[in-house]
Structure formats: structure tokens, C-alpha cells
Structure 1
Amino acid sequence: MKIKLILVMSTLLTIFSAAAQTSKIADQWRTLDSERTVLLTLPHGKVVIELAPQFSPKHVEQFIKLTKAGHYDGNKFYRVIDGFVAQGGPEDGSRQDKLVPTLTMEGDFTTDENWQFTKIQEDDLFAEQTGFKDGFSLAHNPSEKKAWLTHCPGVIAMARSNDADSASSHFYIVNGQATRYLDRIMTIFGRVVYGMNHVQAITRTSVIEGDTPVAEKNYTSMTSMKMMSDVPKEQQILLAVKNTEHPAFSEMIEKRKRRENAFFYKKPPPVLDICQTPVKSRIVN
């Protein structure tokens, strides 16, 4: 009887352990909220954008309102510079453009001693610290008690004029090198989590000196921009992204710093550029 009881307990422990491990693995992924996810349809493919209301609430609120109203449908990417940004929106000065209210800058936010994030690096070129929170790359200056989202490839931000509080509906997606010098002076409000290859394929409107200018009729248009929750179920692209708050993500970061793979017969310094630290995504439907 005693032996049978031990066997039963052992079996139960194995089952519970497996379940716990499964739960732990599941927690390594965070399923995106369709109410905070945008589906941008381009002539050549689809792009999914995760919005960040926790960091830029006013910009996200206005972007969602405009998206639901069909504000972006049919408009074009009119300023597309290789290795820089793809910027789009309504025609400057048009009635559609003028009707949109301007927004107050949301370039950074206040932190305190209890504020937590997954740290990547100390003494970044542009900040005292860098890291991730909720999947978004950010920088942090504890000395100022300020943090902000960083201009890594794939982030989406509002364009503006020289006036800091002049952003309205024109937006850009970073399509090349990290433009970190724009941090804190522009409002980042989301990031591409699917279809970055389609962003890269948006027609460049800027050409090298001496080349034939790109005709406006050839600019890439936005076929449609919709909240994922408003897209018919069969057409939705539901995604999960790596949970940057999970211990497994921190473990991955440390391994990436050490470069233990035999390929690295000469070890680079154990540093990580925040903009070259991937947050993987996967389709869940």
C-alpha cells in the first residue's frame, strides 16, 4: 500500500511539474489586445501595429479615433527616406488635415524609486539606462526620474512642425537605422510587430541627386487602416509577443551579452544596443 501511495504521489508531482512548466512557458508570451492593435493594409501586404496608451495616452486616443473614422484610408506615404522614416498622412493644408486638433507633446514620462523595467544596458550613448517595459524599448534617466520610448526601427511616432505641440495625424515609421537623436522631442506611440518587410517595401520618395524624381502618383498608399477589433474575425491577425517582464527574457538578454556560441571565436564587449535586441512575435490564430 505504501509503495502504491508513493507511486501515485510521484505521478501527481510529475503532472503538476509539467503543468507548472507549461504555464511558465505560456507566460513567456503576451497575447496582444485587439483593442490596442492596428491593421494597416498596404497594396503589397499587411502591417500590424501595437499601440502604447500606457506611455502616450493622448496620441493613442487620437490615433484610434482617426483610424475608426477612416481618416487614413487612401492617404499616402509622401516622405519616405531610405534608412530613415516612412511618413504619411493627409495632404498638408487640406480640409481633412486642418480638422484634426493638435496634441501636447508626450516625449517622456515621470518615474519614481518603485518604477520597474527590464534593464538592458547602463551608460547608453543617449541615456543612463536602457531596457524594455511591456515589450517597448525605452531609455531611463534615474537622475531625472524620467523615461521615454526610443526611436528603434519599427516604432511609430507622430510628425510635427517646429512647435513641440503641433502633432496631429501625420505619422512616421522608422524604417532604417535607429534615429535616437529624435528621442524625447517626438512622441512615439506604437511599434510594428508584424509586416516590417512591407514597411521596408514602401516606395522611397527621396532620390539621390541627379536621379529622376518619384512622381506623386507612384507614392505608396494606405489601402486601409483599421483597429484589429473592427476587422472581421476571419481576417484578423492575432499575435503574441515575448513577455519582456518574464525571467526567461532576462536570461536571453544575459546569454546574448555573453555571446557563448562557438561562432564568436573573438568575443565582442558584453554590451547590447537596445535597438538591436529583438522582441519576437508569433501568430496565434
Structure 2
Amino acid sequence: MFSIVAQANEWRAIDPSNAVLLTLPHGKVVIELAPQFSPNHVKQFTELARSGHYNNAKFYRVIDGFVAQGGPKDGSAVDKAVPLLAFEGEFSTDKNFEFTQVQTNDMFVEQTGFKDGFALGYDSKEQKAWMLHCPGVIAMARQTGADTATSHFYITIGQATRYLDRLMTVFGRVVYGMDNVQTIKRTAVIDGDIAVEENDYTSIISMQLMSDVPVKERINIEVAKTDTDDYRKKLHDRRIRENAFFFKKPPPVLDICQTPVQSRIVK
């Protein structure tokens, strides 16, 4: 299933050309993109970010425990000008596909695991894999048709919305500033509450490729490597939970979305 290769360095630096700096009124967010899994979505997203497409757009559909969705105003000239994207919610593999397995017989899929730090589902019979809707991932919104995504995106802010796996195209994940994502103004209210006015929606001040940000202003991030012996041991220990705190042992299983990959700032 996977190779065990000793690694002296347990961290990898995110390439600035593969990271996005999202600036909100209350703070900054860094998103690592996944062109190896969703190349066309990443390409369109980065081109739009570079063109200023997202600057001053708003998070207009923000539901507590679900997603924060943003983009230009529906039906606007900039919105209509964006080409449709073909679905990239899964990709084909071969029998030698390698990843760091986390769990078999997951509730939604045969196997889960990490590759390049991203949470994946994998079906060996279909020989297909896909990125999972764990908290903090960024995916492209779409209309009813599979191939109708354009530029509107969402970030998961609540529980893992795994029922959306293989239905939507995930193309990255938040590696810094998730607290700022969680502070985005909710636009959905319970029945009987006062509706949130559009003027109060959280705006996107800017969306930039990190490589386009002046060097002194960049947020340089490293993430834990997930293909090392050390990481596999951490997964094993988390699964077994031998710590004395667990006087009643939970089942030896791991929910991949409750197994976040660590990140750190590099000065």
C-alpha cells in the first residue's frame, strides 16, 4: 500500500507559488493549494486571484457549523465572464498508488489516508481517490450540474461535510488563520432572528498568491510530512491511545478529519 521511508526532516515548506494569502478585515489566512489533485481548479483560482477578481467580494453564504462561501455578486459582469470548470472531485490511480493510510472501512469509503498532507479517500477496486471535506478545506461551489463551477468557493467551518465528497471539487486547505475564518460573519440566522444585512457581510480585502506578496510581508508556512515513519507512529499512538487518561479505551479507529496535519510559521 505504501512505502516506509526514513526521513530526517519531518517538515516541508510550502512553495509560495502554491499558497494563497487571503486578507480579511480582522486577519490573514493562508491556503495551500493542491494542483496535483485539482489542477484546473487551482489554475483558474490562482489566475482569478492574480487578476483581483476576489478583491472586495463578500462571504455571502455563511452557515454556522457548515461553510463560509464567497465570491463576486451573482450575475455581475465579472461573475458572468468566468468560464465553467469541469468536475475534478476525484482522480484515477493505479495499483501502486502510495499514501499514508489512516483508516480502513471508513463510514464513507474503503480507505482514508494522507498524501502530501491532504486528506484523501481511496477505493482500491475503482482505483480512484479524492480529497475529503474535512474542516478547513477550500472547495469550489457550483450549480446543479457537475461541470458548472466558476469562481465561487467555500471553506468548511464546522463538522466534516463528508457527504459532499466526490460531489464537489476540493482544491486546497487552510494551513494558517483558521481562527480568522471562524470569525467570518454568519449570514444565516435562526427563524425569528433579525436578518443580517448585506452591508454586514465579511469582505475579502484581497486574495494574493504568496509569491506575489513582498518577501518581508509573506507568511511562510511549513507543514508536517505525512509520509514518514515518525508520522505513522503518531497515527498509531493516536489510534491506540495508551495514555493513562483513557481509563476506558475508545475503539482503535481514527477519523481522518479528527487527525489534523500540523503547520508552523517559519521566520
TM bucket (normalised to shorter chain) is: over 0.9
The runs of 4+ residues in structure 1 deviating greater than 6 Å are none
Higher helix share: 1
TM-score (norm 1): 0.91
> Contact 2:34–2:172 (CA<8 Å) still a contact in 1?
yes
Mapped partners of 1:247, 1:274: distance in 2: 18
Deviation at 1:24, TM superposition (A): 4.5
Partner residue of 2:127? 145
Deviation at 1:249, TM superposition (A): 0.6
Total equivalences in the alignment: 262
- List per-residue Cα deviations over 1:204-253 (Å, max 9, x = no partner): 00000000000000000001000000001111000100000111111100
Mapped partners of 2:69, 2:229: distance in 1: 36
Partner residue of 2:255? 273
Q: Provide the alpha-carbon RMSD of the alignment.
A: 0.9
Partner residue of 2:109? 127
Secondary structure, in 3 states, of the residue corresponding to 1:64? helix
Match 1:32 to one of 14, 25, 37: 14
Secondary structure, in 3 states, of the residue corresponding to 1:46? strand
- Specify every segment of 5 or more residues in structure 1 that has no aligned partner in the other structure, as ranges: 1-22
Partner residue of 2:67? 85
Match 1:244 to one of 206, 226, 244: 226
Alignment of 1:41-60 (within 5 A): 41-60=23-42
Mapped partners of 1:278, 1:188: distance in 2: 16
Match 1:157 to one of 139, 145, 158: 139
Secondary structure, in 3 states, of the residue corresponding to 1:248? helix
Partner residue of 2:53? 71
- List per-residue Cα deviations over 1:246-271 (Å, max 9, x = no partner): 11111100000010111101110000
TM-score (norm 2): 0.97
Q: Does 1:231 align with 2:213?
A: yes
Alignment-mate amino acid for residue 165 of structure 2: D
Mapped partners of 2:145, 2:94: distance in 1: 29
Partner residue of 2:95? 113
- List per-residue Cα deviations over 1:118-143 (Å, max 9, x = no partner): 00000001000000000000100101
Q: Sequence identity of aligned pairs in percent?
A: 63
Pair member with larger Rg: 1
Secondary structure, in 3 states, of the residue corresponding to 2:172? strand
- Specify every segment of 5 or more residues in structure 2 that has no aligned partner in the other structure, as ranges: 1-5
> Contact 2:7–2:229 (CA<8 Å) still a contact in 1?
no
Partner residue of 1:12? none
